[in-house]
């Protein structure tokens, strides 16, 4: 049976710590409860809530909020040096990374300390330090909202891109992700697994650690870097990186770098480069800036923060100021990575 709570405070269920109320809130702990909830609200558009880590609530929620908290991790298959892992949508992502390290399963150690739950990871195709979810993603199980039927979508079906997937485009609002399956390397079996340490400051941080190189060391290096650069949502409200790193033509970059010689970049392919949005925002003078309780983190310009009582609308206004300033100075449009949720 489902339990429906009315005028429910969502402040504890979004990492920005925005005070917003749901007209109706339904916690979900099983597939049966999920099916009951979507049947009960079949004539209404529902909002699917996961870990609340990649969203900004602009105002109160008029839509019923269905909070997916289904737990469970299962090893489906282990052979030929690989392990296929099935993880229910309500599992915390970082806890999953730690589980894999403890079991010597490799592939997601670079994605340590990313906030949120596994069920929302495919939506954004989460990524960090040279690794994206799509690199290890096998498939996911989804429930169709209009029918309650379960389907399996493959890696190809999900049409992953940079912080993008089918779930943000043609399948938006069509499915609830109920579990994901990852194909990882099983280091309990002898094999040549190459650690990914050439992105950012991972290798430099690893050199400071007493342990020998391993997936655990990579994860610890990432944790140290992220802890140093990114604020803890339990201390100050935030949703991690608020903007995507823009990808621009190499020719455009070459023109810009003549005016801004220190502009960093990462090669995407022969014709495109990725420019760090944090650098663009910092150069535009926003790092550490505050507008009431809404502002920009003083150590990482890519992170917008709630100093206490900021509204979603106030955070959004800061984001718009940043976008306008970066566009004016560099001619580059930066897009939000965080999902903006209205009504």
Low-confidence ranges of the chain (pLDDT < 70): none
**Which of the following is catalytic: 53, 239, 241, 284?**
241
Note if 163 is an active site residue.
yes
Residues 61 and 88 in one domain: no
Q: Can you give the residue range of the structural domain that contains 186?
A: 73-229
Which token pair is 213?
Answer: 């190189």
pLDDT at 212: 84
Note if 342 is an active site residue.
no
Nearest to 107 by CA among 79, 137, 139, 74: 137
Question: How many Å apart are CA 247 and CA 328, to the nearest integer?
Answer: 17
Question: How many Å apart are CA 305 and CA 307, to the nearest integer?
Answer: 6
Residues 53 and 83 in one domain: no
pLDDT at 250: 96
CATH number for the domain spanning 16: value is 3.30.43.10
CATH number for the domain spanning 279: value is 3.90.78.10
**Which of the following is catalytic: 91, 109, 132, 337?**
337
Domain boundary among 229, 250, 270: 229
**Which of the following is catalytic: 109, 132, 163, 239?**
163
CATH number for the domain spanning 205: value is 3.30.465.10
pLDDT at 107: 98
Note if 337 is an active site residue.
yes
Instruction: Specify whether the CB–CB gap between 322 and 284 falls below 8 A.
Output: yes
pLDDT at 199: 81
Nearest to 56 by CA among 201, 185, 233, 288: 233
Neighbouring-strand partners of residue 248:
273
Residues 200 and 80 in one domain: yes
Residues 206 and 80 in one domain: yes
Residues 57 and 85 in one domain: no
Could you report the per-residue pLDDT of 201-252, keeping only the tens digit for each? 899 899 888 888 899 999 999 999 999 888 999 899 999 999 999 999 999 9
Residues 264 and 321 in one domain: yes
Residues 55 and 78 in one domain: no
Residues 212 and 90 in one domain: yes
Q: Enter the pTM of the model.
A: 0.90
Residues 189 and 92 in one domain: yes
pLDDT at 198: 86
């Amino acid at each position: 049976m489902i339990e429906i709570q009315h005028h429910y405070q969502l402040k504890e269920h979004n990492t920005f710590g925005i005070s917003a109320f749901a007209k109706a809130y339904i916690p979900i702990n099983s597939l049966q409860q999920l099916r009951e909830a979507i049947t009960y609200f079949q004539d209404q558009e529902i909002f699917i809530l996961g870990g609340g880590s990649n969203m900004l609530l602009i105002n109160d929620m008029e839509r019923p909020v269905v909070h997916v908290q289904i737990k469970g991790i299962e090893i489906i298959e282990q052979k030929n040096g690989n392990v296929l892992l099935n993880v229910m949508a309500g599992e915390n992502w970082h806890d999953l990374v730690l589980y894999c390290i403890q079991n010597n399963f490799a592939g997601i150690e670079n994605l340590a300390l990313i906030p949120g739950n596994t069920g929302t990871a495919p939506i954004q195709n989460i990524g960090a330090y040279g690794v994206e979810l799509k690199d290890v993603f096998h498939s996911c199980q989804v429930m169709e909202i209009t029918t309650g039927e379960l389907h399996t979508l493959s890696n190809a079906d999900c049409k992953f891109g940079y912080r993008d997937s089918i779930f943000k485009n043609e399948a938006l609002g069509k499915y609830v992700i109920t579990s994901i399956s990852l194909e990882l390397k099983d280091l309990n079996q002898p094999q040549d697994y190459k650690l990914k340490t050439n992105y950012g400051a991972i290798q430099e941080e690893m050199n400071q650690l007493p342990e020998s190189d391993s997936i655990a060391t990579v994860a610890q290096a990432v944790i140290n870097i992220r802890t140093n650069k990114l604020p803890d949502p339990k201390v100050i409200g935030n949703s991690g990186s608020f903007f995507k790193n823009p990808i621009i033509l190499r020719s455009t970059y070459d023109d810009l770098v003549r005016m801004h010689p220190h502009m960093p970049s990462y090669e995407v392919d022969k014709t495109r480069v990725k420019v760090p949005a944090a650098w663009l925002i910092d150069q535009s003078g926003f790092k550490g800036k505050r507008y009431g309780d809404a502002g920009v983190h003083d150590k990482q310009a890519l992170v917008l923060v709630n100093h206490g009582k900021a509204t979603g609308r106030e955070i959004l206004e800061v984001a718009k100021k940043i976008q306008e300033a970066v566009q004016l100075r560099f001619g580059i449009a930066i897009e939000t990575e965080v999902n903006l949720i209205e009504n």
